[in-house]
């Protein structure tokens, strides 16, 4: 029995996932805020149903072959869950490809699902180094899939993976989420360092500090809620996985990274307002403030603290990142 996907919110990456799922012989519905605007931007297969988000969604049935996938921006995650919680509560499984954090509440996405739906619902996230264009062109991609219940995620895993879309499965839902946040902050710092002609070894040192911060923040969060605790071997596998090492390398070393571009433009003395006007939302910029302002929960370290002082207190990057250059 093929799966029936319902995708909530879809930009470039969500649309690519929708097309991939259809090619993988699944039935696919995509729910968007404005159908006409969406169809002008994205050309999906005619058999993929594109529908507008509305209150009628809460009246839909949800059977065992339905898989719900949230693919909106980080800023829209909470509202999607809250607006359609009656519908989502009909299922024991929910997945997402959204990276980041809710910037208003400071909550990670699994916490939102726990609070709004149920702590017992199986939560599953896909994250890793990937471009929508590569997925559309059937280029080989390897990403991480983190689940709070791997056995309950079998249908999702089998229906989304393919010969060219490969999954590294883990139970480390905290580590994978934190990796997706910290890598964007590291990419901003990498852009600043690269613009100042820092050696590759300095960028590699930045990535090392980033991994250490991911380990420390993830560990602290687990200590506050031991339901999500994983052993050190699993966390080490996360650090070496596509979600952490792979995504860090892609965003810190690739000029197409929006967050790295943000750092490069900042190092050229462009104002932050001008950069944001040019690039749009820069997740690493927002995440830096959210983690710093919620430091009692995240226990952020030198990467987040240095980035915050550079981005929000106008501190000199040469002073704030001296530990990377000297180290």
CATH number, domain with residue 192: 1.10.1040.10
| Residues 235 and 218 sit within 8 Å (Cβ to Cβ) | yes
270 and 310 housed in the same domain: yes
Beta carbons within 8 Å of 288's beta carbon, 6+ residues apart: 185, 188, 304, 307, 308, 311, 312
319 and 274 housed in the same domain: yes
- Please, which residues bridge with residue 187 across strands? none
pLDDT in tens, 106-129: 999 999 999 999 999 999 999 999
| Residues 235 and 215 sit within 8 Å (Cβ to Cβ) | yes
Q: What is the pTM for the complete model shown?
A: 0.94
CATH number, domain with residue 73: 3.40.50.720
Average pLDDT estimate for 278-300: 94
pLDDT in tens, 42-100: 888 899 999 999 889 999 999 888 999 999 999 999 999 999 999 999 999 999 999 99
Alpha carbon distances (Å) from 16 to 71, 137, 141, 197 = 11, 10, 13, 35
pLDDT at residue 164, as a whole number: 93
66 and 128 housed in the same domain: yes
| Residues 221 and 297 sit within 8 Å (Cβ to Cβ) | yes
Q: Please state the domain count of the chain.
A: 2
Q: What is the Cα–Cα distance from 219 to 217, expressed in whole angstroms? A: 5
Of 155, 170, 185, which residue sits at a domain end? Answer: 170
99 and 221 housed in the same domain: no
pLDDT in tens, 152-184: 999 999 999 999 999 999 999 999 999 999 999
Confidence band of 262 (pLDDT split at 50, 70, 90)? very high
- Domain encompassing residue 45: 4-170
Confidence band of 327 (pLDDT split at 50, 70, 90)? low
pLDDT at residue 229, as a whole number: 95
Alpha-carbon Rg for the chain in angstroms: 19
| Residues 241 and 170 sit within 8 Å (Cβ to Cβ) | yes
pLDDT in tens, 131-153: 888 898 889 999 999 999 999 99
164 and 209 housed in the same domain: no
- The span from the first CA to the last CA of the chain, in angstroms, equals 55
161 and 201 housed in the same domain: no
8 and 145 housed in the same domain: yes
Confidence band of 198 (pLDDT split at 50, 70, 90)? confident
28 and 166 housed in the same domain: yes
Of the chain, the percentage scoring pLDDT greater than 90 comes to: 81
């Amino acid at each position: 029995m093929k799966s029936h996907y319902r995708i909530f919110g879809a930009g470039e990456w969500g649309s690519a996932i929708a097309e991939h799922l259809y090619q993988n012989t699944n039935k696919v519905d995509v729910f968007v805020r404005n159908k006409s605007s969406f169809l002008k931007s994205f050309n999906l297969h005619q058999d993929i149903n594109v529908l507008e988000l509305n209150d009628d969604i809460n009246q839909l049935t949800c059977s065992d072959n339905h898989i719900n996938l949230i693919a909106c921006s980080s800023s829209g995650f909470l509202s999607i869950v809250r607006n359609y919680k009656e519908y989502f509560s009909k299922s024991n499984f929910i997945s997402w490809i959204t990276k980041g954090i809710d910037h208003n509440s400071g909550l990670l996405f699994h916490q939102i699902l726990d609070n709004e739906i149920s702590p017992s619902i199986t939560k599953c996230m896909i994250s890793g180094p990937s471009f929508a264009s590569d997925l559309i062109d059937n280029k080989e991609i390897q990403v991480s899939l983190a689940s709070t219940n791997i056995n309950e995620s079998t249908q999702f895993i089998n229906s989304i993976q393919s010969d060219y879309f490969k999954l590294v499965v883990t139970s480390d839902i905290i580590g994978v989420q934190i990796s997706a946040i910290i890598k964007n902050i590291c990419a901003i710092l990498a852009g600043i360092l690269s613009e100042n002609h820092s050696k590759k070894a300095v960028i590699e040192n930045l990535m090392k500090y980033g991994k250490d911060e991911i380990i420390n923040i993830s560990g602290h969060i687990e200590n506050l809620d031991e339901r999500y605790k994983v052993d050190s071997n699993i966390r080490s596998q996360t650090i070496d996985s596509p979600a952490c090492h792979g995504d860090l390398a892609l965003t810190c070393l690739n000029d197409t990274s929006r967050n790295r571009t943000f750092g490069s433009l900042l190092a050229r003395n462009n104002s932050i307002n001008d950069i944001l006007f040019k690039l749009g939302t820069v997740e690493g910029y927002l995440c830096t403030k959210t983690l710093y302002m919620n430091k009692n929960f995240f226990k952020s370290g030198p990467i987040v603290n240095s980035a915050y002082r550079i981005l929000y207190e106008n501190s000199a990057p040469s002073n704030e990142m001296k530990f990377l250059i000297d180290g």
